């Protein structure tokens, strides 16, 4: 079956088997190896990407379901050689050890911040519940998400701009 998707700003059109998972299409066909295969059961969240601006576990989505969609992977976050604010915050706060869960944590964190631009510790932990880390104990991950929230600004990429738009709407609406 032929699908056409936009991944990290580039359009691709490929023949795929109807049973191909999005994570396998991204890694094996497009070479987007930053999207990690963790469990293939949607339990760990390591394969999280953004599908039309919302985080999804790409091991639970068929590539054919993404036909016509826009997909952002962890490789598509940096702009003009600058890390996305969430990527930078993970680096600055040492929010990784082995790094296996990091791409999915970053993608889910961006989605979390789009919904809640100023989360407290509890909100971060709840927002990341579907993403597992077996190394860090989560404290530095939580700290990184809260640090990123303070540094999100327009121009940092579409996901950061989404967060800025939410903030501006909240400020205008007086919430």
Rounded average pLDDT over 72-79 = 96
| pLDDT at residue 160, rounded to an integer | 56
pLDDT confidence of 6, banded at 50, 70, 90? Answer: very high
pLDDT confidence of 156, banded at 50, 70, 90? Answer: very low
- In this predicted structure, the answer to whether residue 170 has a pLDDT above a threshold of 50 is no
Rounded average pLDDT over 153-158 = 50
- In this predicted structure, the answer to whether residue 34 has a pLDDT above a threshold of 70 is yes
- In this predicted structure, the answer to whether residue 41 has a pLDDT above a threshold of 80 is yes
Rounded average pLDDT over 114-119 = 94
| pLDDT at residue 174, rounded to an integer | 45
Q: What angle do CA 19, 104, 125 make, to 5 degrees?
A: 125
pLDDT confidence of 167, banded at 50, 70, 90? Answer: very low
Tell the residue number behind the tokens 């709407």, with chain if given: 169
Question: What are the residues whose beta carbons fall under 8 Å from the beta carbon of 150, sequence distance 6 or more?
Answer: none
């Amino acid at each position: 079956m032929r699908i056409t998707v936009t991944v990290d700003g580039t359009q691709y059109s490929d023949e795929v088997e109807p049973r191909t998972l999005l994570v396998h299409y991204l890694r094996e066909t497009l070479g987007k190896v930053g999207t990690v295969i963790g469990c293939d059961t949607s339990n760990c969240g390591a394969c999280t990407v953004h599908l039309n601006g919302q985080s999804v576990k790409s091991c639970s989505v068929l590539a054919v379901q993404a036909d016509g969609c826009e997909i952002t992977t962890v490789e598509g976050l940096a702009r003009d050689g600058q890390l996305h604010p969430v990527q930078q915050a993970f680096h600055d706060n040492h929010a990784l050890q082995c790094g296996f869960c990091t791409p999915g944590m970053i993608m889910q964190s961006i989605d979390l911040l789009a919904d809640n631009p100023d989360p407290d510790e509890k909100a971060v932990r709840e927002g990341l519940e579907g993403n597992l880390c077996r190394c860090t104990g989560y404290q530095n991950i939580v700290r990184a998400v809260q640090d990123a929230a303070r540094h999100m600004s327009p121009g940092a990429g579409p996901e950061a701009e989404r967060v800025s738009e939410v903030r501006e709407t909240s400020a205008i609406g007086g919430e």
